[in-house]
Amino acid sequence: MPEKLKIAVMASGRGSNFRSLALSCLEESFPAAISLLATDNPEAGALYIADEMGIETAVVDCGGRRGSMTPDSSSKLAELFRKRGIGLVCLAGFMRIVKGELMRIYSLRMLNIHPALLPSFKGLHGQRQALEYGVRYSGCTVHFVDEGIDTGPIIIQKVVPVLQEDTEETLSARILKEEHRAYPEAVRLFAENRLRIEGRRVFIENEKRRNSDAD
Ligand code: GAR
């Protein structure tokens, strides 16, 4: 069996996407394994999940300014990942914009999950934005990370209906369920080397889609 791709997950909060990735990685046939959970938040729920699952953790102070990261912290994370031979970085609720050395070294080897159908509702509170805008459908997007905010080439999207009686919480819960399916699918495609980027478009080799998807 070929060696599994080594992943680092970066999460700032509760860590349910981290958990779903970690559970997929436990499957023998899954082509990737998580080597490290990195967080900017010493209180992150993701840390407890990592401990429970026996995954190494690193808490890195990324600086006081919310949403941004210092050059030092970026270099530190890049070094932690390089030392462990990390081939893919997965942002899973990491609430800072990745910049600096980490971005440079892992460009095209870093994915993010966003709780809306990009390019709509970028940034914070994608679910609330969708609800307030009044769209009938929303969902989630897994995409490559580039220098912008939620702007990189799109790999996978999953759609959910927005119901009349939805609150931010109920819509978020419906989207989250799809996030937990979408992220492992995208990581698998990356690890199997089946993604080819041309401009903004990501082509998936041997993609199996139902005809109804194209109707
Ligand atoms: C997820 O809904 C993820 O899509 C979102 O944060 C949540 C993290 O939940 N990410 C963003 O909004 C990034 N812009 P989790 O900690 O349970 O995985």
- Domain end point (choices 64, 80, 106): 106
**Catalytic residue list contains 114:** yes
User: Tens place of pLDDT for every residue, the chain, 215 residues?
Assistant: 779 999 999 999 999 999 999 999 999 999 999 999 999 999 999 999 999 999 999 999 999 788 889 999 999 999 999 999 999 999 999 999 999 999 999 999 999 999 999 999 999 999 999 999 999 999 999 999 999 999 999 999 999 999 999 999 999 999 999 999 999 999 999 999 999 999 999 999 988 776 556 65
Establish whether residue 152 lines the binding site of ligand 1, counting it when its CB lies within 6 angstroms of any ligand atom: no
Decide whether any atom of ligand 1 lies within 6 Å of the 16 Cβ: yes
Are residues 23 and 94 both part of a single domain?
yes
Q: How many domains is the chain partitioned into structurally?
A: 2
Sequence-ordered alpha helix ranges (H) in 43-198: 45-53, 71-83, 100-106, 126-133, 168-191
> Is it true that the peptide bond before 119 is cis, omega within 30 degrees of 0?
yes
Range of the domain at 100: 1-106
Q: Which of 88, 106, 124 is the last residue of a domain?
A: 106
Q: Take residue 95 and report the two structure tokens written for it.
A: 């609430």
Residues 10 and 92 in one domain: yes
Through-space distance between the first and last CA atoms of the chain, rounded to whole angstroms:
38
pTM, rounded to two decimals = 0.96
214 and 134 within one domain:
yes
CATH code assigned at 12: 3.40.50.170
The answer to whether 172 and 115 are in contact (CB under 8 A) is: yes
Look at strands 57-59 and 137-144 and give their pairing.
Answer: unpaired
Shared domain for 15 and 60, answered yes or no, is yes
